[in-house]
Chains A and B, each alone.
Chain A
Amino acid sequence: MQSLKTLAQILKEVKSKATPYLFFVMIVLIGLFFQAYLHNFNIVYLALFFTFSLAMASCLMGRLNLYGLTISLLSHHRAFSKIPSTLKIVLKNPNSRIRYAISCSNRTDSQQVIRLEGNGTKVISLQTLYEKRGRADMGLVKLFSRFPLPQVSFFKEVEIAHSLTVYPEPKGSSLEEFLSKSSSLTGEQNDFEGLRRYEASDTLSLIYWPSVAKGGEIQSKQFDYVEKMRTLQFDFMTCAQTDELRLSQLCLWVLECEIKRINFAIKMPNQKLESKKLSTDEILEILGRY
């Protein structure tokens, strides 16, 4: 009784689908059948029955190969709309039987697991892509296999019960362009208070070229206002034309500020987002769900 229940469970959990190879198997079966039937040849009958039975046996083995596998979310990178992000999942084999030739895929990406040891786990990185910002589910991960014989493929869909906020696509003008346009924030290009060591994120306009000419260490201009204050003010309404563009622009600046460790504040229509009070992810989340 228990075995029947387990069998029913296996059939319910793992689905199957015929592949083009099934067509070939059918032709072989028909050919063997005609050979055996018309000539009353027992060896051919045996070949026919073995072919058929092996196909049936492989259906059960294929289901067992996927049955019981679990998937859990390990981590995911920040998801931005229209930009691929990475999702890390753990594929776990709960029993001692080795699993073979499993393909793990989501909407965007697919990874192969040739072999999964008994009671073992495997970390799989999958790329994901979300078209729109906002709240989204992780979606389904599909486990797929043609093991052992290729005439039938087996698959199992696992819902990753986790949702995330897809942030706006970071695009627009860079932070440096923004700073260079706004002189009240950064001062004149030549009105710098000091020099500092060159950082890779510095634009060309910040480089102190005489240091380059001298051939020594490259140095960048240091603006006293920015260094002292280090809190940029962004206005939602004025940064772009449309809401989506604004959100994208702000997202880009937030990320750049995060890299450069610049404090910022965003003046939203109903609230003010300050980097001193909120983390970058919290701010991005608010932008994503706007």
Chain B
Amino acid sequence: MLLGLAVVGFSFIGEFNYVGLSRLKIFVSLLISLLIYAVMLQRLTREINVYILVSPGLLLILSFFFFNSITMLFYALSVLFIFVLLLLWKRMESPLTEAFKMSLTLFSMALPMVVILFLVFPRISFEKSNFGFKGEHNARMGHDGTMHLGSEALLVPSKKVVMEVLFDEMIPPDETLYFRGSVLYRDNIDHWRSRIYMKKSSALKPTINPKTEVSYHITLYPHWKKWIYMLDLPLDHPKKSKINSGFIVTYEKNIDEVLRYDGRSALQYRTPLVLEKGERSDALYVDRKRYPLSAMAADKIIRENRGESERASAIITLFKDQNLTYSLRPKPMNMEHLSDAFLFESKIGYCVHFAATFATMARLSHIPARIVTGYKASRKNSVQNYLIVREEDAHAWVELYFEDAGWVRFETTATASHVIYDDQTGGVVDNSSEEKNAVVQTVKLYFMYAKHMIESWILEYSRYKQMTLLKKLLEDTLFLMQFLGAFVILVALSIAGFTLLQREQCQDDALCAMRPLLKKLAKKGLHKRSSETMEAFLKRSLALFPKVLELERINTLYHHIRYADQKDKATLSELRETIGDIK
């Protein structure tokens, strides 16, 4: 045994340092060594030893490393529950249901303690170790930094969740829920793309309305690209990311796993009144020869409207006058002359067509324009202050530059006169199926909200969150009261669970129905003797309390139930009611 221990000990040389301890490797090494030792010992002594007995438990503990998700959380708790259940079942030698109830009782008693320990146990500020299996490998789509217009357009009506946003306060109005992705300047006929180079955010900050500042926390699912989506207009950027002059935030590497970050944005803002070198020319560049009809219309607008904002309004009027239709299934258009084709011929398209055409018209009208792609969320996908952004929310809009206002957002699809919702037939969707879907969608939303809260407050609970919580408890009396109230409710539920689970099962309906009466009489000092029959006891009670005439009726009912061939629920109910009437 000493030799074995020495061998195991030597194998760990080099592992016993802080770095070694902080890696998964040492636990795996320890476990493997223990298993080797256990098996060797068993082979030599031909006896089952304690190391073999505990090794499944240790393997189980190791499995806690594998995955960090809600599934893993439930797995870990289930394993614990089953372990306790099996222990109790063996000890109690009773039906499994009883052992199950006892396990539930233990867990309900333990829960308040777990909550308190989890919230207040000191945490360290290490970065979470990055090992274990990675989940969420499926990349999200909807935004990829370019805007295709032809058949390669990235039309994704999928409901896959791109990100979850938890606002500190109320969710802002729908018309402000724009999450910025890319800024596109270059019209390459069938697609638009960004400028080759954009500076980092300039020293000039946007002018904002402080009352419209919002803070939020985003859980972004992997999309294998570097964009981090922030609500328009972002005021800062998360760690390990950078922001450029177009207020686009990008991460240091491709986002290949779930990323959680905090954000702060202003809903009302004015961007700096400065354009980068070359930006104006990029934002004004348009090939008039490609869009003769659009150019003619733009010339008219220029003639009739002097100022930039009047020209922008005129463009909007033009779009509205063209009776455009919003549809996710437009007919193919001539990409070479998209603006003309969309505005004057086809008149059916979706956000990319609207945005591209609008930007083209703006440039033809000598207004610098750029397209912004990202996501446009909707409050219909929200629960309380929790908002879901899906792939189908991918969107494109336009920003026009005004000398006195900076870059201003324009929702180009708002100029559509008609909207076709159904993706398949182009017809209007049946209302009844929409209603059913709405219920399902609401349930799904609440489910996702619960999932997000569990992930946010349990899986991702950190020292920072702990400090924030404790600080809030100390500073905000109302929050402290709410917290204490919630804890008291939890303790009460725990006690209720304990009482309910430990309640004696009723084997005899008639006898159980008589219990309240026995308790009432016991309070008056009248106790039923163990050797006494119920009839004798009731007669004795009647002799002592002659005014309580119900006792006679109770005697009749009780014995009727007792000796009846079949269960008479009506008589049982009458018995209970009669007992209840006795004061």
Q: Find out whether the CB atom of B123 lies under 8 angstroms from the CB atom of A40.
A: yes
- Secondary structure class of chain A's binding surface, majority of residues: helix
Contact of B113 among A44, A49, A97 (CB under 8 A): A49
Q: Find out whether the CB atom of B121 lies under 8 angstroms from the CB atom of A49.
A: yes
Contact of A46 among B24, B65, B73 (CB under 8 A): B73
Q: Find out whether the CB atom of A49 lies under 8 angstroms from the CB atom of B118.
A: yes
Interface residues of B in 123-141 (CB under 8 A from A): 123-124, 126-129
* Complex CA–CA separation, A31 to B105 (angstroms): 26
Interface residues of A in 33-74 (CB under 8 A from B): 34-35, 37-47, 49-54, 56-58, 60-61
Contact of B110 among A37, A42, A44, A57 (CB under 8 A): A57
Interface residues of A in 10-45 (CB under 8 A from B): 24, 28, 31-32, 34-35, 37-45
CB-CB under 8 A from B110, the residues of chain A are 50, 53-54, 56-57
* Complex CA–CA separation, A37 to B107 (angstroms): 24
Q: Find out whether the CB atom of B84 lies under 8 angstroms from the CB atom of A43.
A: no
CB-CB under 8 A from A52, the residues of chain B are 113, 117
Say yes or no: is B28 at the interface (Cβ < 8 Å to chain A): no
Check A40/B114 contact, CB under 8 A, given A51-B80, A61-B105: no
CB-CB under 8 A from A187, the residues of chain B are none
Q: Which of A47, A57, A149 is most buried by chain B, counting CB atoms within 10 A of its CB?
A: A57
CB-CB under 8 A from B22, the residues of chain A are 38-39
Say yes or no: is B453 at the interface (Cβ < 8 Å to chain A): no
* Complex CA–CA separation, A115 to B98 (angstroms): 12
Say yes or no: is B64 at the interface (Cβ < 8 Å to chain A): yes
CB-CB under 8 A from A43, the residues of chain B are 64, 68, 72-73, 76, 459
Contact of A41 among B80, B91, B129 (CB under 8 A): B129
Q: Find out whether the CB atom of A46 lies under 8 angstroms from the CB atom of B458.
A: yes
CB-CB under 8 A from B479, the residues of chain A are none
Q: Find out whether the CB atom of B126 lies under 8 angstroms from the CB atom of A42.
A: no
Say yes or no: is B209 at the interface (Cβ < 8 Å to chain A): no
Say yes or no: is B460 at the interface (Cβ < 8 Å to chain A): yes
> How many residues of A are in contact with the other chain, CB < 8 A?
41
CB-CB under 8 A from B58, the residues of chain A are 31
Contact of B109 among A47, A60, A101, A146 (CB under 8 A): A60
Q: Find out whether the CB atom of B129 lies under 8 angstroms from the CB atom of A40.
A: yes
* Complex CA–CA separation, A49 to B111 (angstroms): 9
Q: Find out whether the CB atom of A44 lies under 8 angstroms from the CB atom of B64.
A: yes
* Complex CA–CA separation, A43 to B77 (angstroms): 9
Contact of B126 among A35, A38, A97, A118 (CB under 8 A): A38
CB-CB under 8 A from B94, the residues of chain A are 100, 115
Q: Find out whether the CB atom of B124 lies under 8 angstroms from the CB atom of A148.
A: no
For chain B, the bracket of interface size reads 35 or more
Say yes or no: is A150 at the interface (Cβ < 8 Å to chain B): yes
Q: Find out whether the CB atom of A46 lies under 8 angstroms from the CB atom of B106.
A: no
CB-CB under 8 A from B77, the residues of chain A are 46-47, 50
Contact of B121 among A45, A51, A56, A97 (CB under 8 A): A45
Q: Find out whether the CB atom of B106 lies under 8 angstroms from the CB atom of A54.
A: yes
CB-CB under 8 A from A57, the residues of chain B are 106, 109-110, 113
CB-CB under 8 A from A54, the residues of chain B are 80, 84, 106-107, 110
Return B277 CB to nearest CB of chain A, in Å.
46
Contact of B128 among A40, A49, A61 (CB under 8 A): A40
- Secondary structure class of chain B's binding surface, majority of residues: helix
Which residue of A has the minimal Cβ distance to B455? A42
Contact of B92 among A45, A58, A147 (CB under 8 A): A147
Check A114/B21 contact, CB under 8 A, given A32-B61, A57-B110, A148-B106: no
Q: Find out whether the CB atom of B504 lies under 8 angstroms from the CB atom of A97.
A: yes
CB-CB under 8 A from B61, the residues of chain A are 28, 31-32, 35, 47
* Complex CA–CA separation, A96 to B106 (angstroms): 18
Say yes or no: is B27 at the interface (Cβ < 8 Å to chain A): yes
CB-CB under 8 A from A101, the residues of chain B are 91-92
Return A106 CB to nearest CB of chain B, in Å.
23
Contact indicator per residue, chain A 91-116, by CB within 8 Å of chain B (1) or not (0): 00000111011000000000000110
Q: Find out whether the CB atom of A53 lies under 8 angstroms from the CB atom of B459.
A: no
Return A138 CB to nearest CB of chain B, in Å.
24
Q: Find out whether the CB atom of A35 lies under 8 angstroms from the CB atom of B114.
A: no
* Complex CA–CA separation, A51 to B80 (angstroms): 8
CB-CB under 8 A from A50, the residues of chain B are 77, 80, 107, 110, 114
* Complex CA–CA separation, A98 to B504 (angstroms): 8
Say yes or no: is B483 at the interface (Cβ < 8 Å to chain A): no
Say yes or no: is B39 at the interface (Cβ < 8 Å to chain A): no
Check A42/B461 contact, CB under 8 A, given A47-B64, A49-B121, A61-B106: yes
Contact indicator per residue, chain B 467-511, by CB within 8 Å of chain A (1) or not (0): 000000000000000000000000000000000001110000000
Return A123 CB to nearest CB of chain B, in Å.
15
Say yes or no: is B9 at the interface (Cβ < 8 Å to chain A): no
CB-CB under 8 A from A146, the residues of chain B are 91
Contact of A35 among B27, B80, B117, B503 (CB under 8 A): B27
Return B330 CB to nearest CB of chain A, in Å.
48
Check A40/B92 contact, CB under 8 A, given A45-B121, A54-B84: no
Check A58/B106 contact, CB under 8 A, given A35-B65, A42-B460, A43-B76: yes
* Complex CA–CA separation, A53 to B112 (angstroms): 9
Q: Find out whether the CB atom of A40 lies under 8 angstroms from the CB atom of B80.
A: no
* Complex CA–CA separation, A91 to B61 (angstroms): 42
Q: Find out whether the CB atom of A114 lies under 8 angstroms from the CB atom of B93.
A: yes
Q: Find out whether the CB atom of B64 lies under 8 angstroms from the CB atom of A40.
A: no
CB-CB under 8 A from A53, the residues of chain B are 109-111, 113-114, 117
CB-CB under 8 A from B504, the residues of chain A are 96-98, 118
CB-CB under 8 A from A60, the residues of chain B are 109
Say yes or no: is B88 at the interface (Cβ < 8 Å to chain A): yes
Interface residues of B in 113-163 (CB under 8 A from A): 113-114, 117-118, 121, 123-124, 126-129
CB-CB under 8 A from B503, the residues of chain A are 96
Say yes or no: is B462 at the interface (Cβ < 8 Å to chain A): yes
CB-CB under 8 A from A118, the residues of chain B are 504
* Complex CA–CA separation, A135 to B311 (angstroms): 118
* Complex CA–CA separation, A28 to B73 (angstroms): 18
* Complex CA–CA separation, A80 to B24 (angstroms): 67
Return B276 CB to nearest CB of chain A, in Å.
42
Q: Which of B22, B54, B117, B129 is most buried by chain A, counting CB atoms within 10 A of its CB?
A: B117
A35-B64, A42-B458 known; 5 new pairs, CB 8 Å cut-off, are A47-B77, A49-B118, A53-B113, A54-B110, A149-B87
The 4 closest A-B pairs by CB, nearest first: A53-B110, A57-B109, A53-B113, A96-B504
Question: Which A residues lie at the B interface, using CB under 8 A?
Answer: 24, 28, 31-32, 34-35, 37-47, 49-54, 56-58, 60-61, 96-98, 100-101, 114-115, 118, 146-150
8 A-B pairs with CB atoms under 8 Å apart are: A38-B126, A40-B123, A44-B65, A47-B64, A54-B84, A54-B110, A98-B98, A98-B504
